[in-house]
């Protein structure tokens, strides 16, 4: 369990060399933790990924996002999850989607020192009872729950914050321009980390790291 909000910068690059450069830049700008998006790498290789992590000596979340939730990995589910298993012991957290088939998901969870169980909906914001149900399932499986949803109106963004006010150790994000403010307000409702960008947004409405840190300092 994280004890204070952290700023996480996702690293979305096609090559290990580019990922190394982006990671160093994010670290210099003050990223508390990096999310390595393995699914954006061309021909991801576990040994090369482990070498990258070792070189940087920084906190990492390993994510290999599935297509259905906005990812780009081209291989099978077995290949997608096996990479996470292979790098799990070298990172601080592994992110695995709630909807991942149980036979793959359970292996990733067992291999991980700490696991973020995530849920993404890029079309809508489920109602409060649905989101609470998602979070409950996630918390039963992993160490940190995460949901990122798309608002259709301002009330949807308030639903996200209301859910966060009722649960613990949960990352909650309302995406897009409407939900942009939740990325800096969510830590006030107990979200253990928030995502910010350096050069490329990993999700709609993501603020850059400097803006995020400056706002958080004022809260």
Cβ–Cβ < 8 Å for 198, 212: no
In the sheet with 193-195, reading across from the earlier edge strand, the strands are 170-174, 144-149, 115-121, 93-97, 60-63, 33-37, 6-11, 193-195
SS3 for 126? coil
Distance (Å, whole) CA 195 – CA 184: 9
R_g of the chain computed on alpha carbons: 16
Identify whether 120 is a catalytic site residue: yes
Select from 171, 162, 166, 173 the least CA-distant residue to 192. 171
- Given the residues 101, 123, 146, 217, select the one marked as catalytic: 146
- Given the residues 14, 55, 120, 123, select the one marked as catalytic: 120
DSSP string, 134-155: HHHHHHHHSSEEEEEE--SSHH
> What residues act catalytically?
120, 146
């Amino acid at each position: 369990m994280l004890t204070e909000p952290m700023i996480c910068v996702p690293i979305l690059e096609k090559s290990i060399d580019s990922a190394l450069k982006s990671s160093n830049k994010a670290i210099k700008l003050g990223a508390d933790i990096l999310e390595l998006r393995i699914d954006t790498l061309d021909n991801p290789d576990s040994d090369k990924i482990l070498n990258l992590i070792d070189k940087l000596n920084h906190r990492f979340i390993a994510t290999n996002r599935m297509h259905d939730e906005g990812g780009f990995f081209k291989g099978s589910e077995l290949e997608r999850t096996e990479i996470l298993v292979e790098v799990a012991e070298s990172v601080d957290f592994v992110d695995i989607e709630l909807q991942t088939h149980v036979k793959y998901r359970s292996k990733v969870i067992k291999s991980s020192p700490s696991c973020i169980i995530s849920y993404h909906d890029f079309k809508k914001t489920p109602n409060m009872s649905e989101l609470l149900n998602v979070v409950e399932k996630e918390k039963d499986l992993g160490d940190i729950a995460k949901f990122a949803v798309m608002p259709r109106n301002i009330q949807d963004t308030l639903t996200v914050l209301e859910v966060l006010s009722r649960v613990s150790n949960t990352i909650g994000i309302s995406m897009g321009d409407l939900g942009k403010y939740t990325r800096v307000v969510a830590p006030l409702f107990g979200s253990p980390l928030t995502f910010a960008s350096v050069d490329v947004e990993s999700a709609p409405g993501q603020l850059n790291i400097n803006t995020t840190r400056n706002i958080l300092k004022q809260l």
